[in-house]
Structure 1
Amino acid sequence: MMSGLLPRRAWLAGGAAMAALPAVARAQAAWPAQPIRLVVPFAPGGTTDLVARLLTQGLTARLGQPVIIENRPGAGATVGSAQVAAAAPDGLTLLMSNVASQGVAPSLYRNLRYDAVRDFTHIALVVENPVVFVANPRFVPRSLTEVVRFAQEAPRGLDIASSGSGSTNHLLIVQFGQATGARVNHVPYRGAGPAMTDVIAEVVPMMSDSLPSAAGHLRSGSVRGVAMASAARHPAFPEIATFREQGIDAVSNSWFGISAPAGLPAPIVERLSREIGLVLADPAVRARFAEIGATVGALSPAGYADFVAAEVEKWRPVVLASGAQVD
């Protein structure tokens, strides 16, 4: 009799102990028990969106739940970022964090609705890549020298599009104008996709863009590379001369990572960091990123948090020098 009762008592005790666990602890143990929302704070078609889609394919398979991309563009990536900062820290809402929303915005926006460091749990750096100036193939100037001449001679200067105010793409346009004296007019869009559409349609002649979102258009010939803002010519596009080669000392990179609301429980942070690392270690994923000109990142959650904090300080003097401010 006793031998039959002991296992039952042990089972009942175990069930009682499990029931006594806080609901949050039980939820963490089962995470993720439902689909995960990844907020991309730009319109579809840009680098942020492209990186997110490449990452979520592998992450969905590894987590066993769909990772659903939700595009929330607006105000230089700050609209979607603010929504994530205000969300519950349950691991079901993530952000495709980036240099615009986390690095530049704290200095650019006077009334930013979040702290780029304290209001997020920063989990993983995904990729970094250079910024590139591209033009419609029918735009006559071929080099930066010719672009400067055109901008100085045109009655109202030269329009150059970007994915939005506060991006490194935007700030490179500002730096270009300051370094050359060229009359350039920044034309902000709600993402790189809509901006690129208008460059191809000749609505605007040029664009400052992150290399991954421009890569396919460069290869197809729908746009032409004018200058790459990398320290040396990029191996994926060696035919595009750098800014430095063309006499302008400008190097500009974009970066993209995964963040969540502040207070995300450590077990979920660790799981996400591990699974993202495994996705990025896949040779096929790395090859695809290399093909579009992106370099895979490799930082722990603590390392990524330190990286974001350093980027806030790095971009502060650049934004101040540019004179750009947004209410």
Structure 2
Amino acid sequence: MFSRRTFVASAFSAIALPAHSQTAPWPNKPIRLVVPYAPGGTTDVVARVIAEYLGKRLGQNIIVDNKPGKGAMVGTAMVAKAPPDGYTLLMSVISGLTISPTLYGGGDFDPMADFIHISIASTNPSVLVVNPAFEAKTFKDYVDYAKANPGKLAYATSGAGSSNHLLGVRLAQVISAEMVHVPYRGAGPAMVDTIAGNVPSMFDSLPSAAPHIKAGKVRALAVSSNQRNPAFPDVPTMKEAGYPDLISYSWFGISVPAKTPAPIVDRIATEMQAVLKEPAVVKRWEEIGAEPSTMTPAEVTRFVQEEIDKWTPVVKSSGAKPD
């Protein structure tokens, strides 16, 4: 026979437990997508397209949160420490996961152990652009100018540790010329100064540079891809100019904190593949010269590890410094 106290306690438990014991289906609130660069660059361009279409498929708003700094390591570290609940995603980039940890002498996160790498949204070649008033009209002109003016030719990039930074370092090495790196906190600010003529040239990822090239605000001299990009068939490759060592691509993906539940990871992976097949996304990628990927999470994980193995010795041998 229940006492009044037991009955009240039992009744309270019957009412209270469902509210605490039942887990609402994911996602049931807005999701944050951390972009480790400033607005306006390729990472931001790709992230905002993904946020729009992935958000539609998940039925929740995805809010882009730009956290630039330290070669993409600030934003990357932030996600590494976030709760593994599927509500904080990282727009993972080649710099933050594979280049900057070596360039800056490590970080407070492990690129592999602290993340689950789910998808590669796009791969993109770099492009060398110059202010329209700059005297170099071709890539050969640019190389000749660099050789004739040691220590005077400056190039902007989205920041120290970016793939574009290393491309500039590599160019200086292969042509035996001294060039000046001007790092910014993202490709957007770097492009603004290049257009304004405050810096004569810039190595940028093609998607963020594309609209400025098409608008005539900057002049494209060469791309770093193996073949000419269909979006810009008139822009030659650096390989064509006799520099096959300058073939280079950047990439942008979706990663989440380690220990994120498998059902959430699987859902994001499935929806990302659907997003990359959306006609509007396919068209957008074609317009900006980006290429989608069909890699599974397991394949992405292997890919990121391979990129770490590839770039670590390159950074060490290049002598590049975190400007």
TM-score higher than 0.5 here?
A: yes
Partner of 1:142: 137
Runs (4+) off by over 6 Å: none
Deviations 1:291-323 (A, max 9, x none): 100001111111111111111001112111211
Please give the secondary structure, in 2, of the residue aligned with 1:193.
helix
Deviations 1:235-271 (A, max 9, x none): 1111111111112121010100000111100010011
Q: Which amino acid aligns with 1:116?
A: P
Give the paired residue count.
309
Partner of 1:278: 274
Match among 292, 300, 311 for residue 296 of structure 1: 292
Partner of 1:151: 146
Partner of 1:315: 311
Whether the 8 Å CA contact 2:160–2:321 is kept in 1: the answer is no
1:102 Cα deviation after fit: 1.1
Whether the 8 Å CA contact 1:161–1:207 is kept in 2: the answer is yes
Matches within 5 A, 1:102-113: 102-113=97-108
In the alignment, does 2:202 pair up with 1:207?
A: yes
1:168 Cα deviation after fit: 0.7
In the alignment, does 2:241 pair up with 1:258?
A: no
In structure 2, C-alpha distance between the alignment counterparts of 1:325 and 1:136, rounded to whole Å: 26
Deviations 1:154-194 (A, max 9, x none): 36421000001111100000000000012211110000000
In structure 2, C-alpha distance between the alignment counterparts of 1:131 and 1:46, rounded to whole Å: 12
1:149 Cα deviation after fit: 2.4
In structure 2, C-alpha distance between the alignment counterparts of 1:91 and 1:195, rounded to whole Å: 32
1:325 Cα deviation after fit: 4.0
Match among 30, 40, 43 for residue 38 of structure 2: 43
1:287 Cα deviation after fit: 1.2
Whether the 8 Å CA contact 1:110–1:326 is kept in 2: the answer is no
In the alignment, does 2:161 pair up with 1:166?
A: yes
Partner of 1:175: 170
Q: Percent identity?
A: 50
Please give the secondary structure, in 2, of the residue aligned with 1:246.
coil
1:105 Cα deviation after fit: 2.0
In structure 2, C-alpha distance between the alignment counterparts of 1:150 and 1:120, rounded to whole Å: 44
Please give the secondary structure, in 2, of the residue aligned with 1:245.
coil
Whether the 8 Å CA contact 2:73–2:101 is kept in 1: the answer is no
1:143 Cα deviation after fit: 2.1
In structure 2, C-alpha distance between the alignment counterparts of 1:265 and 1:259, rounded to whole Å: 13
| TM-score normalised by L of structure 1 | 0.90
| TM-score normalised by L of structure 2 | 0.91
Please give the secondary structure, in 2, of the residue aligned with 1:30.
coil
Partner of 1:241: 236
Matches within 5 A, 1:4-23: none
Whether the 8 Å CA contact 1:110–1:325 is kept in 2: the answer is no
Match among 179, 186, 199 for residue 181 of structure 2: 186
Q: Which runs of 5+ in 1 are unaligned?
A: 1-14
In structure 2, C-alpha distance between the alignment counterparts of 1:46 and 1:236, rounded to whole Å: 18
Whether the 8 Å CA contact 2:150–2:177 is kept in 1: the answer is no
Whether the 8 Å CA contact 2:127–2:203 is kept in 1: the answer is yes
Quickly say closer, same or farther: Cα 1:290–1:324, change in 2 above 3 A.
Answer: same
Matches within 5 A, 1:19-98: 26-27=22-23, 30-98=25-93
In the alignment, does 2:264 pair up with 1:268?
A: yes
1:20 Cα deviation after fit: 8.1
RMSD of aligned residue pairs (Cα, Å): 1.9
Q: Which amino acid aligns with 2:198?
A: V
Q: Which runs of 5+ in 2 are unaligned?
A: 1-12
Partner of 1:116: 111
1:107 Cα deviation after fit: 2.1
Quickly say closer, same or farther: Cα 1:21–1:105, change in 2 above 3 A.
Answer: farther
Please give the secondary structure, in 1, of the residue aligned with 2:276.
helix
Whether the 8 Å CA contact 1:106–1:312 is kept in 2: the answer is no
Whether the 8 Å CA contact 1:103–1:315 is kept in 2: the answer is yes
Deviates more, 1:112-121 or 1:101-110: 101-110
